[in-house]
Each structure stands twice: as C-alpha cells, then as structure tokens.
Structure 1
C-alpha cells in the first residue's frame, strides 16, 4: 500500500518485519526526485546514492521504514574504525544520510552523539613545477592543451573548465567569469560566481578556439539542431537560450547527442573523463613521476601565486573558496627555510641601505 501522506510518497510493503530483507528501489527513486527538485548537481546525486547504498549494505537491506538514527551512528563509526575513511569522507557520508532521513524518509534526525570520528590526516596537494607543466603541455594536442592552460592559468576546477560557455569570456576587459549556472551545489558548498583574469599570453589561442566553436555553431544551426544542453531551470527561464550564440559551449563535444524521447539532437560540452584521459596520457608520455590530474594544475596555480607573495585572501577569491582554511593548505606546498637560512629583518634594512 502507499501512505496517503504526500510528504512521504515512498511505497511501503505490507508485513515487513524489521529484520526482513527489503527492496530499496523506492528509496533511490525518491532520493533522485528530491535531488532534482532542489536542482543539486549530478555529482551530489551520485555521492548521496553511493552512501545510501553503503548504508543499505551495512544494515543488510533491513526495512528502510525501520531505519533508526542508531543505524547511522553505527555506520559512521564503522567507516572510521573498520574502513578507516578520511574525515572528509565521513562528513560527506553524514550529510548524505542526513538528507536521506529528513528529505527522503521524512524522519526526525536529532543531534548525532557517540560517533567515533575519523582522524584528520594532513593533506598536502601535489604541485607541479613550471617546467613540468610546460613539459606536459608539449604532449597535449588541442583543445586539451588550451583547457589545461586555463586550469593552470585561471585556477579552474575541471568541471568549471569544460562547462565554460562563450558568455563567460570578456576579451575587452580581460576577465573570465565563472558562473554557477544551476542551483547545483558542490557538496558542502554554496552557490557562488567569481571572476579571474584571462591570461594574456593565450588570448590568440582562445580566439582561435572561439572561431572554431562559432563555425561549429553555424553548422549546427544549418542542420536545425535543438541547441546546447542547459540546466532545467535555465531552460524554463530563457526559452531560446539553447540556440543563443552566447550560451554555446566554449569547448563543445565533437558529436551531437540524441534525446530519444524528444527525438532531437543537442550539443554537449567536451566530457571531463575525456580531458582526464588526455592529461593522464600526457603526464605518462612526459615521464612525470608525480600523480598529476586536472586538479593538480589548480593546486599549482595557487601554490605558484603564494610563491610570488600574493595575498592569501586574494588567492582565496580567485579559487572560489568559501573558507580560508581550504586555501591555507597550499602554504604547506612552499619550501620552508631553515633557521640557518633565515635572515633578521635588521639585515634586510642594512642590505637596502647598502644598495642605495
């Protein structure tokens, strides 16, 4: 039977003892509905679904209507003690299960007590030298070469790089605007936009990419395509935006995607997995011994700015960090001077006077 309460549309099976094994299919369907209702990102849905599945396995698929807060406490402790997950992973699991209880199962969720906390391990990001970056770039063809230059030159996340649209670039002012187009959220982060300077050294390459994108767009119009993909709420707000020039992807996928139910073709951006594979291959070909990925170029951007004595607050804004503590991790990538190598401030003054 189905509960009449509209706040809990999950189908409940009759005579389901607490210890019985039960299908959780309705849970996953409702989880997806609640995520889409709030316009959270696909990555959030994937993460929340993963932690829900792990809880299901831990409880041996017990009747989800009989799940208790103690099940969550035991599971989070299991993650820390047995699985030895990181503190951030345990925190992510907590957020996912909090959402599951409150928004999907419609259960009360009081303050969690008695959970064994996962140990926080010091995290030092992998940083490449400028020579290593140049070497990797030498092994990348277009458009991957240009995408990586934006990762490093602007401190972009991989999702921000592949999601760039023509409207993000203002070549007159030399500014690249990173829009959070949807209400989708990175886990534990809010919606925010930011601006970063466009590296002037790659403007000619960016304009060449723009010409290629424009040519592809004009060809798509001739073929009467349905436009590019847009977040659902933007599609409703700007009904003609999918075919609008400014909303076209800056790095479009080489082929169109068929939407079967609508029988129309749309253009998607270059997929992030394709970019990651290209970077992995280039790192291997360049014989770089560090574990470098797309995120490594963002790490290098921050670390190199610190080396040039940029203010940590400025770097925080350029990276789009909401918490300064996230940015502070890059201070650990700088080479420390020993006491013997350090100089007294009095010596700085003396050297300055001597130079005069």
Structure 2
C-alpha cells in the first residue's frame, strides 16, 4: 500500500470514528462511556473482517450477539452496552434498510438474568441452604432472628406445596412484623402484639383490606401452624375496609391499538396473553413442548395453586410461533455446540428425566438472550426472560397508544375473560380457562354485561 493510500485509509477511519462519536453525543452517551462503545464496535468489526458494514444483515448481528451472550463472565450491563453500541452504529450511522425494524429491544431488555431469589429459582438453594439468598435487609435479619423457627416455617410451607411467591410474601410480612416490635424473642410475642401490628397497618399505613389480610395470614401461619400457638383475634383490631375492585378491561379496539405499539417478541408474548388468558409468569415459563399445534392448544404448567390447565392456541399466531421456534432451535443448537444447552428443571424432574434437559422440548419458548450461571448448581443455563421486561413494555405501549386506563400485563387476561363473556361463552368454561378454583372469582367479569352501570339508562339520555 502506497503512502497516499495509507493516508486516505487513515483519514477514512478517523472520519468514521468522528461520525460515530457524533452519534453518541446526539444520543447523550456520556463522555466517559464513549471509549467503551468504540471498543465494542472495534470487536464487532474485527469479527467480520472482509465484510463492509453497509453489507451487514440482521443475521450477522444476531449471530454475534448470540455468541457474546454465551460469555458468562460478561456482566448484564456490559451486554446491554454492547447491544446499544451496535444499535447506534447501524441506526445512527450506517443506516441499512433493516436497522430501524430490527428487534433491538429483545437483545437489550431480554438479556436481564434471573436473580437467585427469583421465584423460578428460589427453592433450589445451594446444599445446606434452605432458602435462596436475598437482598432484603429485613428478611436477612428475620432469618437470623428466628433461627430454627425459620427452617420449620419454610419446611411447613413446602410440605404443603404452597407457592414460591406465597413463601416470599409471608417472609416479607413476618420481617415487617418483627421489625415493628423491635425484634422480640418469638416466645414473648402475644396476640395483642399481632393485633397492634394489624391495626397499625389499617390505621396508620392505610393498606388495602387484602394487604392486611395477607399479613394476618402470614402471622397466623407462623404462630398457629408452625409454632402450635393458638391465636384468637375475634374483633380485637381495626380491619382495613374491604373494597370490591372491578378489573380494568380494554375494549377490543383498545387491545388492537395496544398491540400495534409492540413488535418482535414482545408483540408475540402480549398477543399470547390476550389470546389465551395466561398470567405473565405462565407465559414466560412456557416450554417448547407445551405448544401443541396438532390439537391447537397450549398446556399451562404449574399455574396458580400448582395446577395444570389447557388453553386455546390462537390460530393467528401459528405462523409467528413456527418462525419464532425455528429461531429458538438455532439458538439452542448453537448452545449445544458450545457445550451448553441444558434447560432449567426443578431437581425432581431433572433426576427423573436425566439427559432430557438438553432436548429442545424442554427449552423455554421465550429464553433470555444471554446465558447465566445458575447460582445453585454452578451450571451455565439459558433461563426464561425476566417477566418485568414484558410488564414494562406493555405499560409503555399503553402510554404510546394514548389509552387512559391503568394498563398492566394482567389487563390482557381481564380483557380475555370479559370478551369471551361478551361473545356468549359459558362462565364455567371461562373459569376453567382462567384456572380459577372458585366460580365467584370469575364472576367479577360479569360487570361488563351491565353496561351503563347495572344496565340502567341515565335519566339525562331521556331528555
């Protein structure tokens, strides 16, 4: 290469980085972080030597991020930074046709790993540990304060097959209770201490009736079921006023507008939730084998109350699901080739099925976009995505859609049930689809049939 050619190349490289840093500046990336963005791009370019950036396709980006996502030494924030660096490169500088519609969100947001105390992992503690580590200072102190009583509390919960979320909620309220009393020995706690705490919640904290009731359940469980200490409350404390809550429901037009604000995997997941009535954790925990295209149904495993049920497979989503599962297979094949690919299974199932953990059938339908180390076993796995990513995406979509209702991921489940009722489906069928143990729970959706408030015409409309 001649000297002039070398100078031209150097100027071109210098101009490229100048333009990229200008993109970073417009995107308000801090000055201190910009050198790291440059290193990420340099590594990406070096991995694709001989291929001009203008000729890159989504396949190159997907392949590169998949490979980087298998690096378990890479912290979560570092992986998100890599995704952001590539997004700004292609969307802000190179600008190929595909960049704007590429699912950057899936890579950046679905990279969040599951913490040790996440409900999926919380009961698979390290040998010698009964409960998962926690970042909650009060819960940590509670475990030390109760000592042997805490082990009996957790054991009793699990023998009775109570949900992971119930265990965490009860621990939270027990910690709040003992902190309220300034951590007295459990043997000195009396009924009046409990009534004083419950009254404090209702009068001073002004909690909802359901919240006060959950706190009471946690205390009753510990003292009556674990410690064998009978408690008689009677009417000795102020109860929070019970409220009959009517669920927020979207019209079918609002659901359509909401879904139009989503794309990629988020759109697929939100559509599944509305089309099946699944809860958010039921959706993120779906396994490949749970989708039955032949019988046009989805099996929901370990729903609320540890029950299985069957829900309809929306036929509109079949093409997208086939395409999505093909991508999951490619990702899984790559994991296997790299020495990974074992799915997470509860210990009893893992012992029963052995090598089946490597089968595609046991992989999550919505896996995280990067691998993580399972704190319990030390194995590297690809868990399901964190549910908060979907919840945040739906809330943001509702804001963009201009829907002036309190929309959450659970709103899609409410809308599923209500729209089925409106179409004339039997309420007991809807009860079965939702997995409700009591028909009274399903009856809350009948409110929509009483249009205009109990079906009464406003007198103003008669004028």
How does the TM-score come out when normalised to structure 2?
0.63
Moved more, 157-166 or 68-77: 68-77
Quick one: distance in 2 between partners of 1:301 and 1:261?
37
Quick one: distance in 1 between partners of 2:456 and 2:351?
60
Of residues 300, 310, 321, the one that matches 2:436 is 321
Quick one: distance in 2 between partners of 1:310 and 1:235?
40
2:277 is aligned with 1:155 = yes
2:240 is aligned with 1:125 = no
1:236 equivalent in structure 2: 351
2:275 is aligned with 1:275 = no
| Kept after mapping to 2: 8 A contact 1:124/1:333 | no
| Kept after mapping to 1: 8 A contact 2:343/2:357 | yes
Name the structure where helix makes up a greater proportion of residues: 2
Shift of 1:146: 0.6
| Kept after mapping to 2: 8 A contact 1:69/1:109 | no
- Matched ranges for 1:67-78 at <5 A: 67-78=189-200
- Matched ranges for 1:85-104 at <5 A: 85-102=207-224
Shift of 1:293: 0.8
1:264 equivalent in structure 2: 379
Of residues 197, 219, 224, the one that matches 2:334 is 219
Quick one: distance in 2 between partners of 1:99 and 1:179?
27
Q: What secondary structure does 1:235 align onto?
A: helix
1:172 equivalent in structure 2: 294
Q: What secondary structure does 2:307 align onto?
A: coil
Give the gaps of 5 or more residues in structure 2: 1-140
Of residues 334, 338, 346, the one that matches 2:456 is 338
Q: What secondary structure does 1:192 align onto?
A: coil
1:27 equivalent in structure 2: 146
Q: What secondary structure does 1:122 align onto?
A: coil
| Kept after mapping to 2: 8 A contact 1:146/1:205 | yes
Shift of 1:81: 3.1
| Kept after mapping to 1: 8 A contact 2:145/2:183 | no
2:422 equivalent in structure 1: 307
Aligned residues: 312
* RMSD after superposition: 2.4
2:402 equivalent in structure 1: 287
| Kept after mapping to 2: 8 A contact 1:152/1:298 | yes
2:185 equivalent in structure 1: 63
1:113 equivalent in structure 2: 234
Q: What secondary structure does 2:264 align onto?
A: coil
Cα distance change on mapping 1:175 and 1:280 into 2, 3 Å = same
